[in-house]
Amino acid sequence: MQSFPKMTTPLSIYILTMNSERRLSQVLDQASQVADEIIIVDSGSTDNTAEIIARYSALTLYRKLDNFRDQRIFAENSCTNNWVLALDSDEVLSDDLIIEINHLKRNNFSGITTQWPDGFSIRRDWYFLDRRIKNFYPVKTPEYIVRLFRKDKLSTHGSRIIHESLQLHNCRIETIDKPILHFSCDSIDDLYGKINLYTRLSAEDMHSRGEHANWGKIYLYPWLIWAKWYFIYGSWRDGKFGLILSRYIRTTVYIKYIKLKYITKPTSSFRP
């Protein structure tokens, strides 16, 4: 009797890129082991990102970055398969996670406790200067984040424009404890290079929700957040890296609120 190979459920992976050459080869090497389709949504890279992508079977689409929520919605809509895995260009699938996802594909993404889940929450470990760390503001690690999902059931529609997430109302979610490795920053330049974009988007998000900044939030609140993350959440356990990241927290919160303070002010007319 002739046997036929078991069919697997196709999976699309989308990756958001912008000058992403530092980790992209590693990201694509791992993603290619589980993906039936790879969609790259680039927002205008000027480094070697395009040359790296050309070595892989991936479709590259361009979209100017206005905010991360709408960038993800565009990427979701561009995927042709119903099951989608969302990645950033500094997120690497671990070998154990690749094995787990391929197992799920062979079983039509049937879960363990829920027979037909709508999505999977995957552990994400954060790395700073190639060291795994316990906290990276605004995330306490490891975190669990829904990145593998059915796009007919879950979407980023309705999320905030920054620190965006899938909307999980009345959805069945299971957990995968095999990690995505998030290499957030490989240098101090990477760390502080993020501040301008993220604080601008945060200020715009708070402004859209009617929040206001006062001088207490600008000058006192950054120190309170610093103390909370360093002493209570335990960034001190990361040693010198915890000190660096705690200083980054204080700076980020200060800039975010100073931008919010002045984004709400009307432009005054010029008087000679």
Residue 1 in this model has a pLDDT that exceeds 50:
no
Dihedral angle over CA of 154, 110, 80, 29, nearest 10: 110
**Predicted local confidence at residue 209, as pLDDT:** 87
Domains of the chain: 11-185 (3.90.550.10), 191-263 (no CATH)
* Rounded distance between C-alpha atoms, residue 32 and residue 193, angstroms: 29
- The pLDDT tens digits of the residues spanning 12-25 come to 999 999 999 999 99
Residue 270 in this model has a pLDDT that exceeds 50:
no
Within a 10 A sphere around the Cβ of 103, how many other Cβ atoms? 11
- Dihedral (CA of 62, 64, 68, 72) sign: negative
- The pLDDT tens digits of the residues spanning 123-182 come to 999 999 989 998 888 888 889 999 999 999 888 876 654 555 676 667 889 999 999 999
* Rounded distance between C-alpha atoms, residue 191 and residue 186, angstroms: 8
Q: Which residues of 12-28 are buried (b: 16+ CB within 10 A; e: fewer)?
A: bbbbbbbbbbbbbebbb
What SS3 class is residue 125?
Answer: strand
- What is the arithmetic mean of pLDDT over 175-190? 93
| Triad 121, 79, 58: Cα angle to 5° | 105
Mean model confidence pLDDT for the chain? 88
Cβ 84 vs Cβ 109: under 8 Å: no
- The pLDDT tens digits of the residues spanning 207-261 come to 988 999 999 999 999 999 999 999 998 899 999 999 999 999 999 999 999 999 9
